[in-house]
Structure 1
Amino acid sequence: MRRLDWLDALRGLAAITVVLFHLSPQLIGAEAHLAIMRHIDLGKTAVLLFFLVSGYVIPMSLERHGSLRRFWIGRLFRIYPAYLITIALFALLAAAGLLHWQASLRAETGAGVLAHLTMMPDLVGVRGVVRVFWTLSYEMVFYLVVTGLFAWGVHRHSAWYAAVLALTAWIVPLPDALLGGHPRLLAAVLLLGLATTLVLLFARHRKAAGLAGIAFVLVPALNGHPTAASTVKSSHQALLLLAVMFAGTVVYRWHHRQIGHVAGPVALAVVATSVVGAQWTQRNWLANMFAVATIFLIAYVFRHRPMPKTLTWLGRISYSLYLLHVVVLFLMPRIVPDLGTQSLPVRVITGLAYLATVLTLAWLSYRIVERRGQELGRRITRKIDNRQPSPPEPATQRAAPGTGRGENTRESV
């Protein structure tokens, strides 16, 4: 049993929940699906669980790499190959007339291309080629902000960051589209900012790169809902998502005794209260947060126990599963029209066939695309390190106990 199987299990549970959530309207009908959502939104629950896991894993990954340069090479070769393959698959199916591009992408092609290069389409106000791409916008902002905090050596104050982000989202009036209205210009600026941050990192201008990375927090704070194409509906929601990721970091640092025994629980309580308080008009948010906290707590308590192999396997393929399942789902109406009106046996058989298809595709993508991408990233890192050895890491950035380089870890998407 690997020490971090519990995180794989959480990712696996979150991924299959998203798949079933998107499948359910066709299997049980839209009315039944909406009736369940009035009590608990399993899609949001799964996404929040993903974000908590990312918040736990990303700082651990940074400390394990011991170098911001190595971290970013690993990240880019971890997430971009499967992401680009998903876009290419959608484009091929669209060219064959089997799928259709979103209207907003057809209207703003230039902005769409630039926004997808940044992996921040939701914050630009452009609909993702695949709708689930919206979560990657917040993952990317989190990577950049955490990178900046590491560059300045202030990354261990996670409790403060989580609490301040959450309270700001709950209490402070924020504009939703201060930078909106010009998606192409905004996408170009974000792409330039991302490229500048990475160039500065690779040129070893750590402090300048750090400032650029931290500045990205202003995008969700001031532009959380730039257009109707954005999935997140306000800057308050956008900051809350970042607060949830930092809550995962709080758990990681609390676990490794890097923050006080009081500060950790207080910060987590502030985040949970702010999420529910800021979204009080949507009563299912209380159920969402309760479900996320309960699931994460159970997994954490039993982290030293063997995890279900099915869930850990799903966790390993979760990124490809998350990206590809919607593409296959879009094809279902062409294969079985009006599935919701078909007999129960037809719906069950179709649902099982769909699950078998997406799981197979995700496994193939993981084996052929993701793993090879990661191997290529490691080879490039070794070559760069041989030519330009990384400077010794500051003492404040060495890996915490139990997260050393030799440990076999899987990184979160």
Structure 2
Amino acid sequence: MSASDPSAIQSMSHVRGLDSLRFVAAAIVALSHGATFPARQYFDSGSGIERAIGAANELAFNGSAAVLVFFVVSGFCIHYPVTQGMDLRAGPFWVRRTIRVGVPLIVMIAIAELIGPTAAAALTVILWTLYCELIYYALYPVLRKIIDRVGLSLVLVVSTVISFSIILSDWETLFYWEYSIWLTWLVALPVWLLGCLVAERMATVRRPDPGATIWHWRAAVWMYSVASLAFFHHGGIQIGNPALLLPFGFLAAAWVEREIACFQYRQPFAILEWAGRWSFSLYLVHNVVIALLPLGDTHLVADWLVRVVAIVVASLAFYWVVERPSHEFARSASRRLAGRQALAAAMSNPPSTR
């Protein structure tokens, strides 16, 4: 089976293109938090066209929308191995996923607290997404049993109704993290489940090469994110991100499905796949660096370049020192636990001597 064969995805443990999507999403989050070029400072005092350029630069990157792409990719990655027949053992699964996310998270929280209140406050802005992820990991073995019994479509419909009800009860809530975490994960759950739905569809449906239409989907996703951000800031009616972006989750899932199909037929850019490996570190580190390196009034470009370089250097350092070792430890601990469970099962069910 060739790597370009559309059926190749059925046997691939690593799905091509997902690392690229992770990096793009993490980069957009960083850009939305202050890593973008400070165009407004240069163009605000100019002509109407120049001011429009500055405003467009700020609307081009919707970090909340990018987070929902993360959730779709996460749901896909968790559910896809199960659609390929992998036996899910709750203990090893929990150990691997919790260590993989939890260790870098705890280390970064400790670093931010040691640096001081500015760093801690900057980190807090992005923590809600990771708490949601940990909740989804904790619940997935149970969710999988429910999905096996009643079907993913019903679970998705119920979760969407619950999410919509929470949003409708206070549709002026501006940000996801303004809910308590016990409501936030419910609000975002349909998007994560949409990733599971993409996994099931990719496991059972042989998708054709989307070809040039993939750029139509990319444009549609970007245009929705820009329009929702523009309405959020300038719509005249106070509607929060959770209400504006719930439909975006469905669009993002349809787009991610086509991206996965696209990369069945062609190789992703190697640099994006490489950058995707440390995208989690980028997500954890970027806002702390931005908070610690404010832009000055007279050397905007120089300060911005220092900020961008510092984000990349700090992210790579965190990846090599913390994230990558935690991944290796997570895999090792999960395998050891799975081995002990298999041994215990074998000892409790000895082979018949007949």
Where on the TM-score scale, by shorter chain, does this alignment land: which range? 0.5 to 0.7
Match of 1:77 among 99, 116, 119: 99
What is the aligned partner in structure 2 of residue 49 from structure 1? 69
Q: Give the TM-score normalised by the residue count of structure 2.
A: 0.67
What is the total number of aligned residue pairs between the two structures?
A: 289
* Equivalent residue number for residue 136 of structure 2: 142
> How far apart in 1 are the matches of 2:329 and 2:180?
38
Cα deviation digits, residues 80-103 of structure 1 (max 9, x gap): 221122112112211xxx83655x
- Equivalent of residue 323 in structure 1, options 284, 308, 319: 284
Question: What is the aligned partner in structure 2 of residue 121 from structure 1?
Answer: none
Instruction: Indicate conservation of the 8 Å contact 1:174/1:235, yes or no.
Output: no
1:238–1:150 CA distance, 2 compared to 1 (3 A): closer
- The alpha carbon displacement at 1:167 in A equals 2.6
Percent identity of paired positions between Structure 1 and Structure 2: 25
Give the structure with the higher percent helix: 2
Distance 2:167 2:248 in 1: 24
Counterparts of 1:36 and 1:76 in 2: how far apart (Å)? 39
* The one of 296, 310, 323 aligned to 2:256: 296
Aligned-residue offset at 1:367: 2.2
Query: Residue deviations 1:232-272, cap 9 Å, x none?
Result: 489887534110110111111111129xxxxxxxxxxxxx9
Distance 2:95 2:181 in 1: 32
Alignment of 1:315-354 (within 5 A): 315-333=276-294, 336=295, 339=296, 341-342=297-298, 346-354=299-307
Name the CA distance, whole Å, in 1 between partners of 2:99 and 2:80.
Answer: 18
User: TM-score normalised to the size of structure 1?
Assistant: 0.58
Q: Which runs of 5+ in 2 are unaligned?
A: 4-11, 45-50, 206-220, 222-227, 346-354
1:370 matched to 2:323:
yes
After the TM superposition, which residues 175-324 of structure 1 pair with which residues of structure 2 at under 5 Å, given as runs? 230-232=177-179, 239-257=186-204, 282=239, 285=244, 292=252, 295-304=255-264, 305-324=266-285
Q: Is the 8 A contact 1:73 1:377 kept in 2?
A: yes
CA distance in 2, matches of 1:12, 1:297: 17
Q: Distance in 1 between matches of 2:60 and 2:73?
A: 20
- CA 86–155 in structure 1, closer or farther in 2 if over 3 Å, else same: farther
What corresponds to 1:266 in structure 2? none
Secondary structure of the corresponding residue to residue 77 of structure 1: helix
Q: Give the equivalent residue in structure 2 for 1:405.
A: none
Whether the 8 Å contact between 2:75 and 2:192 is mirrored in structure 1 is yes
Alignment gaps of 5+ in structure 1: 103-127, 177-224, 259-271, 393-413
Q: Deviation at 1:327?
A: 1.0
Question: Could you tell me how far apart the structure 2 residues matched to 1:229 and 1:145 are?
Answer: 20
- Structure 2: how far apart are the matches of 1:296 and 1:83? 26
Partner of 2:6: none
Output the amino acid matched with 1:90: A
Q: Is the 8 A contact 1:170 1:236 kept in 2?
A: no
- Amino acid aligned to 1:348: V
In structure 2, the CA distance between the partners of 1:173 and 1:289, relative to structure 1 (3 Å rule), is closer
Cα deviation, residue 140, structure 1: 2.0
Please identify, of 367-376 and 318-327, the stretch whose mean Cα deviation from structure 2 is larger.
Answer: 367-376
Per-residue CA shift, 1:285-305, capped at 9, x if unaligned? 379558735752551331211
Q: Would the aligned equivalents of 2:15 and 2:260 in 1 still touch at CA under 8 Å?
A: no
> Match of 1:5, as an amino acid?
R
Counterparts of residues 62-141 of structure 1 (less than 5 Å): 64=86, 66-94=88-116, 99=118, 102=121, 129-141=123-135
Offset from partner CA, 1:122-160 (integer Å, 9 cap, x none): xxxxxx853100111221222223221235673782222
Q: Distance in 1 between matches of 2:19 and 2:323?
A: 16
> Does the 8 A contact of 2:23 with 2:272 survive in 1?
yes
RMSD: 4.1
Larger radius of gyration: 2
